[in-house]
Amino acid sequence: MSHSSSIFYLKLASEILIGFGTLFFFALFTPVSVLAEFFADLVFLPLDGLQTFNNPESKILIAIMSGISIGWGIMIYMITNTVYTNDPKLGGQIILTAVLTWFIIDSTASVLVGAWFNAVLNTGFLAIFITPILLRKETVAA
């Protein structure tokens, strides 16, 4: 994968993360909550409709999670646009360290609380961030 393609896909991955956070933000006060509740039901298999966001404790955690997801997505986008574009080794190390740390902590905690399928879903987010970095090819000046 070329460096420009790697940049494109990292920015796209950041936009997906921002979108995910935005979805949950709007789930707090719009009918989009049906999608967010489906996601919560999915990570706590089986699909039984028992997971809802009808209590203040769930809503504050969603508010925090949506803010962190949007902020993290913007941060990775900006790191990609500045650091990674000019210094792919350093930018890649920063992004990989952050993404791998998130993946290990989030997935481990998910399994510990009985939401093991979230760890499976996390693999998709992990892949969209690490693939452009790991598949980037060094270009050789002619």
Q: What is the pLDDT of residue 55?
A: 85
| 2 dihedral zone (left: phi>0; alpha: psi -120 to 50; beta) | beta
DSSP characters for 33-93? HHHHHHHHHHHTSS--S-----SHHHHHHHHHHHHHHHHHHHHHHHHIIIIIHH-HHHHHH
Tokens 């080794």 -> residue: 89
Query: 83-121 pLDDT, tens per residue?
Result: 999 999 999 999 999 999 999 999 999 999 999 999 999
Tokens 């039984």 -> residue: 48
Q: Is 0.85 surpassed by the pTM of this model?
A: yes
Residue 139's pLDDT band, with cuts at 50, 70 and 90, is low
